[in-house]
């Protein structure tokens, strides 16, 4: 059985992620197959729209399959990871810039690489089980796959908060933060998919959509904006420690699980990415970090602790959130020169 099912049905080009036992984690070959389908259907007049969904009820896509990156990176081979990210980011950009409607149906976990596939299309649908997040700081990485751009468009300083804590968003919060557009009860998805396939009319999503369950983030907006107003990690930590509220205590606990270097860089990336930032702006900045990540960040140690040994006890390079200097942040996000991300020659 293939890890991904790509086919034409009626008026739709269909992509189904098909690794339910692995929470549909995205492999490198899957990225390339998605890109090839996008290219193939772009000028195919028989394809009116793209429909992306996933097998199983636990996850749309819980992230990227990073075990091979760990294996190659620990041997000093950084080229594999750099190529994986470069090609994955090109696929993310193609979804965001696609000239035809791209509809995604997201159930369960949609995280990391799953956000890159599901949250850049024109009609992003979540169901009642949706749990959307960018938890990369927990493995020593920064929110990527264009996720930093989505965070930059979130209201107020919400993008900083979600990026550094990895907090999960239910369907209402995912819509509030700009990671999804519409709520459709999952029981209605088969009928919606059938209508999309038959008619090629993306407006079927609008007709099927109903009000999403109320999330938690709107009520937290004022606290988030106040406590995350500072523009550096150390200043935010100081503000949280001085506040003493339950929200501040919870946030400090969440921050304590992540890589201090990744968290500090995530904050700086949000400082640089304005609400006018494009997907290409976000991907180019993300690639500066991910290109360097296996060699110069906590990424390999974070993967070891979370995925390989599963001891959940990473030994970060910095033993305190306030120990990261702005010089270190600047080095991780410095331009890459000739090695910088170039999507232009690939996107047609």
**Positions marked active-site:** 64, 113, 136, 144
Burial class (CB in 10 A: 0-12, 13-18, 19+), 200: middle
Q: HSE-up of 339 (CA within 13 Å, CB side)?
A: 14
Kindly report the backbone phi and psi dihedral angles of residue 184, in degrees, each rounded to the nearest multiple of 5, phi listed first. -130, 125
| Contact (CB, 8 A) for 157 and 225 | yes
Separation in Å, CA 143 to CA 114, 136, 241, 246: 12, 5, 25, 26
Per-residue tokens: 115:
């956000």
Which of 214-239 are b and which e, b meaning 16 or more Cβ less than 10 Å from the residue's Cβ? ebebeebbebbeebbebebbbebbeb
Which of helix, strand or coil describes residue 185? coil
Residue 176 neighbours by CB under 8 Å, 6+ apart: 155, 169, 215, 217, 218
Tokens 């810039």: give the residue: 97
């Amino acid at each position: 059985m293939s890890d991904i099912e790509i086919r034409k049905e009626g008026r739709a080009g269909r992509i189904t992620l098909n690794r339910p036992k692995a929470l549909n984690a995205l492999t490198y070959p899957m990225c390339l197959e998605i890109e090839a389908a996008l290219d193939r259907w772009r000028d195919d007049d028989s394809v009116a729209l793209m429909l992306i969904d996933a097998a199983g009820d636990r996850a749309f896509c819980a992230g990227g399959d990073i075990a091979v990156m760990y294996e190659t990176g620990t041997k000093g081979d950084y080229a594999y990871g750099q190529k994986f990210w470069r090609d994955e980011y090109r696929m993310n950009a193609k979804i965001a810039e696609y000239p035809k409607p791209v509809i995604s149906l997201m159930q369960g976990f949609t995280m990391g690489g799953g956000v890159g596939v599901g949250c850049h299309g024109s009609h992003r649908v979540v169901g009642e089980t949706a749990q959307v997040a960018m938890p990369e700081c927990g493995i020593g990485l920064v929110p990527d796959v264009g996720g930093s751009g989505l965070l930059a468009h979130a209201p107020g300083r919400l993008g900083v908060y979600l990026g550094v804590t990895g907090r999960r968003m239910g369907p209402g919060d995912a819509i509030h933060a700009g990671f999804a557009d519409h709520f459709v009860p999952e029981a209605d998805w088969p009928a919606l998919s059938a209508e999309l396939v038959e008619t090629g009319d993306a407006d079927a999503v609008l007709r099927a959509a109903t009000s999403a369950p109320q999330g938690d983030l709107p009520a937290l907006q004022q606290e988030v904006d106040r406590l995350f107003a500072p523009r550096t990690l150390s200043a935010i930590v100081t503000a949280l420690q001085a506040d003493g509220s339950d929200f501040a205590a919870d946030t400090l606990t969440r921050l304590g699980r992540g890589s201090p270097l990744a968290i500090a860089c995530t904050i700086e990336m949000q400082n640089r990415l304005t609400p006018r930032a494009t997907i290409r702006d976000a991907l180019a900045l993300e690639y500066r970090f991910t290109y360097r990540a296996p060699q110069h960040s906590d990424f390999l140690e974070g993967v070891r602790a979370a995925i390989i040994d599963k001891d959940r006890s990473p030994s970060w390079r910095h033993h305190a959130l306030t120990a990261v200097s702005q010089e270190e942040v600047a080095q991780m996000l410095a331009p890459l020169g000739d090695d910088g991300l170039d999507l232009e020659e690939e996107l047609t």
